[in-house]
Amino acid sequence: MTSPTIESVLHEERLFNPPAAFSQQAHIKSLEEYEQLYAHAKADPQKFWADLATKELHWFEKWHTVLEWQPPFAKWFLGGKLNISYNCLDRHLSTWRKNKAALIWEGEPGDSRTLTYAQLHREVCQFANVLKQLGVQKGDVVGIYMPMIPEAAIAMLACARIGAAHTVVFGGFSAEALRDRLNDGQAKLVVTADGGWRKDAIVPLKEQVDKALADGAVPTVQNVLVVQRTQQPIAMAAGRDHWWHDCRTSVAADCPAEPMDSEDLLFILYTSGSTGKPKGVVHTTGGYNLYTHMTTKWVFDVQDTDVYWCTADVGWITGHSYIVYGPLSNGATVLMYEGAPRASKPGCFWEVIEKYGVTIFYTAPTAIRAFIKMGDHLPKAHDLSSLRLLGTVGEPINPEAWMWYYRVIGGERCPIVDTWWQTETGGIMITPLPGAIATKPGSATRPFPGILADVVDLEGNPVQTNEGGYLVIKHPWPSMLRTVYGDPDRFRRSYWEHIPPVNGRYFYFTGDGARRDEDGYYWVMGRVDDVISVSGHRLGTMEIESALVSHPAVAEAAVVGRPDELKGEEVVAFVTLEETASPSEALVKELKQHVVNEIGAIARPGEIHFSDALPKTRSGKIMRRLLRSLAAGQEVSGDTSTLEDRSVLDKLREDT
Ligand code: WT7
């Protein structure tokens, strides 16, 4: 772990007050209101969450206990029964929202579809009935490997409806990565599509599923349900593979939502950690439903007139919480877009905002940096005046990128919510409430009501104002991950043991460094572990190293992140070769492709350096800190006395 020392404390003096017109109509209207909520939640968290759960969600049966906290294991709303698909769909059908647009979808080739709440409900019911027909039962796990089409959300809601857990695997992941996740989750069925549009090409999703399942590599999978999207010919294995459009003709249009226990598994989502293979982050039903509902309502200030657009893919937690569950639970109109900006369609986001009158827009700093580079003329060619709120997530946003977003996209009229959270937290944790909290460019500002955040040292002592430390959470919250799927020890080790409990109080370790300023605003500085962020996607350096080492030419590999203007970080690999192999440009190419095959294109190294040896400590640990400096082209500073062989470093310095 690296210590979160602040290399240069950013002096950010700019402060943007919530516009009065925004505050007046917002759910949370003032700083006083936020502070009251915060104080109330801090004083009596159980009452705070229980009151909201009663008011904001539908329960088939009320809970008997709000919170059971046996550190590090939390349970919320014990004994309560609900169904998140009921909360996202059925309960809106008895209101005027029945015929309101739930999903507006814009396809990459320019096709589009709108589903009202009533129509979405019917689609989900049919999908759920097909899953049942194919033998999926309550408690089973279903893999979802889909493009950004309505059926991705429909499949998730259908699983939730019948009490099957989903594990969505991002469509950009390789067949190998898919196979590992399906095996870890013991998936019984896979939902996929013939293909999906990514930029200007078709991603052959079904072909990847075939590869992942070849030779009985995932013995638990019995059926594959295929949605037709791109229409190229694909192989269909008799008995195993089924077309969604065929199956749906023989099922009923209604499927009652299964009353689920509040703590029943809702989904598993894999994310990278500092060691080993990706972790299956476990989220359960009641707490997750409540927390994503409340954060959507208060952070995005969702109103019935809004057209809400989050540009994430449903394969990430952002898509789960803020495309599907949070917004639909609030009865919002959600825009879903299959495409992505690129050279041939650089202005497509602005085109979509204008076309549909998007009012709330939520994207990532890496996208914003790319837009800045593409030039102001693109957004300026479109009418963006429908926008009233902007959001960002995924990595720290540079103040200058924030300012550009504010000026050029928001027309200096829209508040920006810089939302800090993680796959593990399930929902947004540190964020402005846009009608209440003044923003500072680059700061995620203050914790959401009910979230006890702090910045501490490794003994759990709070650090001084403006001093760097580890960002921790000191009280369980409803959408907290419950465990790592099948590995409670890893859950303990990864999140609860870096910092020991102090006076019986446990600290959830986020893996991020942060400081808190004199106004109580949080400035997240990035990961303190061996996790890097490439275009906002979280990658464990260890996973990429394992992928490299699985190539026959590679003896040893060390991977670090190098700061990159557009992507945030770029993957840089240092590799030592087996005796039988020798460095060449062709081998660099081959190794890059090998990583793509093993993990996916997001993990492709930008640079690979060959070396006779890697810098190690006397105890054999690779000194990544030195490699990080080398990769960044910086002087290697700090202590190098623990190096086993100094000449290794000198040699590397010459070569890089
Ligand atoms: C990591 C979590 C949560 C959805 C997207 C990523 C970084 C996330 C911010 C932000 C600074 C941020 C952190 C965090 N991060 N949002 N607003 N400011 N850093 O989810 O893949 O689980 O990654 O992303 O480092 O730990 P994830």
279 CB under 6 A from ligand 1?
Answer: no
Give the per-residue pLDDT at 204. 97
User: Which DSSP state fits 134?
Assistant: T
Reply yes or no on whether the pLDDT at 403 is more than 90. yes
Give the per-residue pLDDT at 180. 97
Q: Which residues contact 525 (CB under 8 A, 6 or more apart)?
A: 4, 6, 396, 468, 512, 513, 514, 515
* CA of 50 relative to ligand 1 center, distance in Å: 28
**Considering only CA atoms, which of 531, 520, 500 is closest in space to residue 455?**
520
512 CB under 6 A from ligand 1?
Answer: yes
* Ligand 1 mutation pick, 313, 420, 455, 567, max ligand atoms within 8 A of CB: 420
Q: What is the mean pLDDT of residues 469-489?
A: 98
Reply yes or no on whether the pLDDT at 268 is more than 80. yes
| pLDDT tens, residue by residue, 450-461 | 999 999 999 999
| CA distance readout (Å), 522 to 35, 261, 430, 510, 518 | 16, 36, 8, 14, 10
Reply yes or no on whether the pLDDT at 9 is more than 60. no
Give the per-residue pLDDT at 8. 47
476 CB under 6 A from ligand 1?
Answer: no
Reply yes or no on whether the pLDDT at 271 is more than 90. yes
393 CB under 6 A from ligand 1?
Answer: yes
Give the per-residue pLDDT at 88. 99
561 CB under 6 A from ligand 1?
Answer: no
* CA of 468 relative to ligand 1 center, distance in Å: 18
395 CB under 6 A from ligand 1?
Answer: yes
529 CB under 6 A from ligand 1?
Answer: no
Split at pLDDT 50, 70, 90, the class of 639 is confident
Report which protein residue has its CA nearest ligand 1's atom 10.
Answer: 420
Strands (E) in 517-553, as ranges, are 522-527, 531-534, 537-540
* Ligand 1 mutation pick, 314, 430, 471, 524, max ligand atoms within 8 A of CB: 524
Whole-angstrom Cα distance, residue 478 to residue 650? 51
* CA of 512 relative to ligand 1 center, distance in Å: 9
Split at pLDDT 50, 70, 90, the class of 1 is low
What 3-state DSSP class applies to 319?
A: helix
Report which protein residue has its CA nearest ligand 1's atom 7.
Answer: 395
Strands (E) in 156-240, as ranges, are 165-168, 189-193, 196-198, 201-203, 223-227
**Considering only CA atoms, which of 539, 522, 529 is closest in space to residue 396?**
522
Split at pLDDT 50, 70, 90, the class of 7 is very low
| pLDDT tens, residue by residue, 482-498 | 999 999 999 999 999 99
Q: What is the mean pLDDT of residues 598-606?
A: 95
418 CB under 6 A from ligand 1?
Answer: yes
Q: Answer with the residue of higher pLDDT: 654 or 361.
A: 361
Q: What share of the chain is helix, strand, coil (3-state, %, to 5)?
A: 35, 25, 40
Cα within 13 Å of Cα(373), Cβ side: 12
The terminus-to-terminus CA distance of the chain in angstroms comes to 24
396 CB under 6 A from ligand 1?
Answer: yes
| pLDDT tens, residue by residue, 354-401 | 999 999 999 999 999 999 999 999 999 999 999 999 999 999 999 999
Q: Which residues contact 620 (CB under 8 A, 6 or more apart)?
A: 644
Contact 156, 143 (CB under 8 A): no
* CA of 510 relative to ligand 1 center, distance in Å: 10
* CA of 394 relative to ligand 1 center, distance in Å: 4
* CA of 361 relative to ligand 1 center, distance in Å: 18
**Largest pairwise CA distance in the chain:** 74
Return left, alpha or beta for 543; rule: phi > 0 is left, psi -120 to 50 is alpha, else beta: alpha
Atom of ligand 1 lying closest to residue 431 CA: 17
**Considering only CA atoms, which of 128, 81, 130 is closest in space to residue 255?**
128
Reply yes or no on whether the pLDDT at 570 is more than 70. yes
| pLDDT tens, residue by residue, 319-341 | 999 999 999 999 999 999 999 99
For 286-300, 359-373, 636-650, which range has the lowest pLDDT when averaged over its residues? 636-650
Structure tokens at 514: 């942060």
**Considering only CA atoms, which of 139, 151, 144 is closest in space to residue 266?**
139
Q: What is the mean pLDDT of residues 75-101?
A: 98
423 CB under 6 A from ligand 1?
Answer: yes
Report which protein residue has its CA nearest ligand 1's atom 21.
Answer: 538
Whole-angstrom Cα distance, residue 195 to residue 233? 10
Reply yes or no on whether the pLDDT at 519 is more than 60. yes
Reply yes or no on whether the pLDDT at 3 is more than 70. no
Reply yes or no on whether the pLDDT at 137 is more than 90. yes
Q: What is the mean pLDDT of residues 260-270?
A: 98
**Angle formed at CA 83 by CA 26 and CA 49, multiple of 5 degrees:** 45
Q: Considering the chain, what is the average pLDDT of its residues?
A: 95
Split at pLDDT 50, 70, 90, the class of 621 is confident
What 3-state DSSP class applies to 374?
A: helix
